[in-house]
Structure 1
Amino acid sequence: MTQTPPPGHPWPISFTATCLRATLYILFIAGLAQGAFIEALHYPEVRFSEYGFTELAQSAVLLTASLLLLYTRQVLRVLPTVTLLMFAFTFSSFIREQDYFLDTWVARHTWKVLVTLVIVPILFWVIHERKRFVEEFASYANSFSFGLFAAGVLVTYVFSRLYGRGDFWEAILQEHYVRTFKDAAEEGVELLGYALILIAVIELTLLARRWALARHSS
């Protein structure tokens, strides 16, 4: 597998392509926000639950990101260890989002077992191939995709957890506190973070495709 970009790889993209992608990403984010709005307005019985739009959209976004990372690694054959580690992160997050269904239909803590089965062998492989990983990461770290991915992780796993604390919303709403406010805040921010991660993975896939085309043409 190709570890790093080929010599003379084409980094720049046209201004038109940039504007088109930006527009599509804006529409994507707006669509997610509108979906959450419709869920809150018309479906109070499943509002911000495992059967609601927001939770299902989170799972769909994470699964799509995971499949794109597999495509980048297995088909485009670019940055195999970096994309494998990113896949471990996104697919483990996808499994974590299914905790309610797994606990209900399979057994309690099933998701923890599945996450362990995904993460442990992949971490072992990346550590074993750490020199290759460092080389690949040096190529990826300066990309737009990496910045977006880091932002998505921070939004999802740091900000949403702190912003969605029950004590925080109880302090704001006081005697008017209802758990739905907390759930809406946490799940909405989490969905935004996952969306940023997906956009980052899309950008990585497009970048890897340019690298692959450059490799084949050289």
Structure 2
Amino acid sequence: MGTTKDPNLRGSLEEESSHHGDILQFNTEDSAETVPEKVLAGMQWASSNLTHDWIYSSVDDDMVVHVENLVEYLNTLLVPEDTNVNIRPCYEQLPIVCVYSYQAKDSPNRIPFSKWYVSYGKMSGSYWPKHCRGGMYLMSVEMAGRIFHISRKTPYLYLDDVWITGYMRRKLNEGDCNIMVRLRKLFNKKFLSKVV
């Protein structure tokens, strides 16, 4: 998470961190505009501190993940049932998996004053690259590190999902084989739900 100017919240965060040691904080104020930076800070930390047999995931704050089902899904996805290794990749070869929503052909919002408005000057094409839209996506720690490094030389776009899982993923020059929709036959409907 980012920083806060609220002294009460800051005190609560320090208490939580000292008691549980479960907070990663980067030195930018937390806001909707800084979400891409926050996600990339998490990718940087994960790729610097975790081994390549870990999975990195990004989950929106209005989602609830059933952890046991996630582990079962990942084990099914990563452990081949047959000898064709192209069907189910190992950790390092795991593409970005769009668990919540895969966007194969999504158009930029051209409505002025919309929260998601993007001008033609910022993006002139008719469609975004294939990407994961919000909710949840996951990838190998190795992929997270590669995306973090390429972000240092990729023009900023405040739409974090499009920027990270679309533009930067595409800059890895692997075509679209490094992104996939979740495999529905392996996916338990109780795995992920949106908080109402």
Shorter-chain TM-score category? under 0.3
TM-score (norm. length: structure 2): 0.26
The structure that is strand-richer by fraction is: 2
In terms of Rg, which structure is larger? Answer: 1
Q: Give the number of the structure whose residues are more often helix, by fraction.
A: 1
Q: TM-score, normalised by structure 1?
A: 0.24
